[in-house]
Structure 1
Amino acid sequence: MTSPGSVTFGLLLPSREFAMYAPHDGDPLRLVDLAVRAEELGFGAAWIGDSLLAKPRAEPLSVLAAVAAATERIDLGTAVLLASMRNAAQFAQQAATVDALSGGRLILGVGAGPPGPQVNADFDLVGADFDRRGSRMMQVVHEARELWRAEDTPAELRLQPVCATEGGPRMWLGGSGPRGLERAGRHFDGWFPTAPAVDAFAEQLVTMRSHAADAGRDPASITAAAYLTVNIGDPDTAAAEVDQHSRLYYGVEFEVVRRLLGTRSGTQPEIMAWLQSYIDAGCEHISIRLASPDVDTQLDRLVELLPQLRT
Structure 2
Amino acid sequence: MADQDTIIVLSTDAIAAREREAAVREFYGRICMRLDLAPLERGELRLSASTTILPGVSVAHGQVAPMAWERTAALQQDANDDLVVSWIAGGWRFDTARHEAVETSPGAPCIMPMDRSWRARAQNGDWTICARFARSTLTPLLRHVGDLRPDAINPGTPEARLLLAYVEAVAGGAIGPGLAPLAAQHIADLFAAAVGANREVDQVVAGRGVRTARMHAIKRYIEENLHRARLSAETAGRGLGLSPRYIRRLFAEEGQGFSDYVMQRRLERVHRQLASPLFSARPIADLAFEAGLVEPSTFYRQFRSRYGMTPSEVRAGRAP
Q: When the two structures are superposed, what TM-score results if normalisation uses the length of structure 1?
A: 0.30
Q: When the two structures are superposed, what TM-score results if normalisation uses the length of structure 2?
A: 0.29
- Which structure carries more helix by proportion? 1
